[in-house]
Chains A and B, each alone.
Chain A
Amino acid sequence: MSSDRIREKLQILSAAAKYDVSCASSGVNRKNTSKGLGDAHACGICHSFTEDGRCIALLKLLYTNNCIYDCAFCISRRSNDIPRAAFTVDEIVDLTVNFYRRNYIEGLFLSSGIFRNADYTMERLTLIVKKLRLEHRFNGYIHLKTIPGASEDLIMEAGLYADRMSINLELPTEAALKQLAPEKSHETVKRELGLVHNKLVLYKDERKIIKSTPRFVPAGQSTQMVIGATKETDKDIMYTASAYYKGFSLKRVYYSGYIPVNDDSRMPAIGSQPPLLRENRLYQTDWLIRLYGFEVQEILNDANPHLDTDMDPKLSWALRNLHMFPVDVNTAAYEMILRVPGIGILSAKKIIQARRYGRLHVQQLQKIGISYNRAKFFITCADSPYALKDPDAVYIKKNIMDNSKSKYLKVPQNQLSLF
């Protein structure tokens, strides 16, 4: 292959893949037992960080950016006049192996435009993963996109070689999708997430009894939706996410702030700022639901359909529920300590362990690593100062805001408005 042509292809097909957010390389322990190449770590490893602050763990590529679909939000849609390219199977295999050997990457993230039809495309992707695993004895991480509409057999075969599979919801609601990508539907996504999910559960159960049962998508599934392209509320978005987490045991839902790539009067104009703050708040909410034991209805509901922009959702929730505070860190349950603004998972665990040796004081809590300036309004400990009256939400909020430097204070105001 000529080196100029491969460089050109890589530039086109990685630039087209950059809007896929997931770069996780975690969730699977794939051991290198055959003295082959590579292994995969449960906790995931990043190998570089681009100027936008995002990590590079995987070589993220489209097999081709030729596509039969015409989705309004997508740079690769068929009606766009852009340079098109397609890799060969060997080119992708070769890039992956050689990048991996130099410790540039943890593995491959492979997606594609739909070329000819769904089955043809899925078959190519499967060929690539199969070749890596079988011919090159490659044990690195592989994240494979499920091509919407591909046949069950092909998806099942691919799942034997991939660590994670994903298929994008694209937009938070079916209505929005119908409007901007009429050829796609959430029903297809559900069908395929369901196929993989059922098989995954089945294989996992069988493996408990028969050790030789092959692994099937051991790192689970994820999905992604674009936010800020259409006019959903934060509540709409998070309720959808929550339903998919529950329905398909997804490992992750990714929220991708829309970056206008096409001229379309139905969406934000080219050049408008991506809604980064909103995206950040959605991820914070996602964390609270997955890891902090919150129900989505506690954070977002009809009275509060949008997340606050000036403070994080955990603080908002606490200020709306002051009757549940203060929490005595020396006696309260772990679940309640976890809900205190300024206390994270690691600190909460340390507090539970440490308090068995004696009542904890302010100084000890600070050393353990909690954000005391934030937490102090919501906790009592061995030497808490005696308060004359309970402070109100306005006072607490002002006090915390005045004493903390939000990373978004310097963000120009126009970025806060979504349209």
Chain B
Amino acid sequence: MINYLYDGTFSGLLSAIFDSYDRRDKAVSVYPEFLYSPDLFLDEYTVITDEQKALRVWKGLQHKLSDRWQLNMYMASFTENREEIQHLFDCIHYIFDSKQNISYNYGNEHVISVAQTARKVHKERHRIVEFLRFQHTVDGMFFAKIDPLYNVLPLVRNHFKNRYADQQWIIYDTKRRYGVYYDLHEVKEVTFNFDESLIDKKRNKLTENMVSQEEELYNNLWKDYYKSINIAERKNSKLQKQFLPQRFWKNLIEMNA
């Protein structure tokens, strides 16, 4: 047994695959840096992320995988769960070690795990697409903040770019402290420390002097709409929470009357 330590990126994980073949290590446990606590009894090896190596591994995978499964692999790599990362690592080994195309072998525990992890990440991405909210600021910008379970910003930026092509917007991940900014031409990654004083803590949105004049009207109209479109006789809070998990409520004005 040996522990591999990598930087937590997809390139890092692919580099780890490369190194494990290179070093002929069997029974490897992979750990992203953010989940690692040293184990005195086991050997440890630190993977140095190497884009060249990662690309070679990825090209090798592309030869063996359908488009659908390449996407599954990429999506699954966003997980922050140790066991799911291990399954992904083992699944890639399993794919390289088999002669036939085994990516649809859902009877294999690694394959089914990667498929399920990819689905989870995809679901979180979809929820951000659903429940992200922009506020219109005094300088004409549309601002949104999110705190997703996984680092899904790279997965949603194109969606918002295609959709809001004629307005400037920023989406900021408060958990990971970076954002993406669209300037009407392209989307750029921006790193800044968000000034907490710009947020009205009680209502969890931008302070009044930060938002445009009509923002309050549309906020109110939206809350009105949310109330009047509900059918009281059909009340089913359990179903509501199943579709709209409570962790998203704080960013939704309609949920905070």
Contact = CB atoms under 8 A, between A and B. Distances in A.
B164 A37 contact: yes
A375 interface: no
Given A11-B228, A353-B104, A276 B162 contact: no
A15 B164 contact: no
Most buried by A among B225, B228, B239: B225
A199 interface: no
B38 interface: no
A36 interface: yes
B178 to A, nearest CB: 20
B25 interface: no
A212 B220 CA distance: 42
Interface string A1-20: 00100110011001101110
Interface stretch (B39-47, B71-79, B129-137): B129-137
B243 interface: yes
Contacts of A18: 228-231
B130 A46 contact: yes
Contact of A51 (B131, B134, B142, B230): B230
Contacts of A207: none
Most buried by B among A36, A51, A351: A51
Interface in A252-282: 257, 259, 273-274, 276
Given A51-B235, A357-B102, A101 B167 contact: yes
Contacts of A360: 107
Nearest to A50: B230
B227 to A, nearest CB: 8
B238 interface: yes
B187 interface: no
Contact of A46 (B102, B106, B225, B243): B243
Nearest to B115: A350
B224 A52 contact: no
Interface residues of B, number: 55
Interface in A299-351: 350-351
Nearest to B234: A52
Contact of B240 (A51, A98, A276, A364): A51
Contacts of B102: 357
B230 A102 contact: no
Contacts of B107: 354-355, 357-358, 360-361, 364, 368
Nearest to A60: B229
B113 to A, nearest CB: 8
A54 interface: yes
Given A7-B221, A18-B229, A273-B233, A53 B136 contact: no
Contacts of A289: none
Given A35-B165, A103-B132, A10 B234 contact: no
Most buried by A among B109, B116, B130, B133: B130
A367 B234 contact: no
A52 B106 contact: no
A7 B230 contact: no
B197 interface: no
Contacts of B237: 51, 53
Contact of A102 (B108, B130, B136, B229): B136
A63 to B, nearest CB: 15
A32 interface: yes
A95 B218 CA distance: 8
A99 interface: yes
A123 interface: no
B142 A50 contact: no
Contact of B239 (A19, A48, A53): A53
A103 B106 contact: no
B222 interface: yes
A354 to B, nearest CB: 4
A372 to B, nearest CB: 15
A356 B102 CA distance: 10
Interface in B233-250: 233-240, 242-244
A356 B104 contact: yes
Contact of A53 (B129, B163, B234): B234
Given A50-B229, A53-B238, A45 B130 contact: yes
Contacts of A56: 226, 229
A270 to B, nearest CB: 10
A178 interface: no
Given A15-B229, A99-B222, A364-B107, A48 B164 contact: no
B200 interface: no
A213 to B, nearest CB: 24
Interface in A362-378: 364, 367-369
Nearest to B228: A15
A412 B63 CA distance: 58
B105 A354 contact: yes
Contacts of B116: 369
Given A35-B166, A354-B104, A53 B240 contact: yes
B234 A259 contact: yes
Contacts of B225: 10, 14, 59, 99
Interface of A: 3, 6-7, 10-11, 14-15, 17-19, 31-32, 35-39, 45-56, 59-60, 95, 98-99, 101-104, 137, 257, 259, 273-274, 276, 350-351, 353-358, 360-361, 364, 367-369
Interface of B: 102, 104-109, 112, 115-116, 126, 129-136, 142, 144, 162-167, 214, 217-218, 220-222, 224-240, 242-244, 252, 254
14 contacts: A10-B224, A14-B228, A19-B231, A36-B166, A38-B163, A45-B126, A45-B129, A48-B252, A51-B237, A99-B218, A99-B225, A257-B234, A274-B234, A357-B105
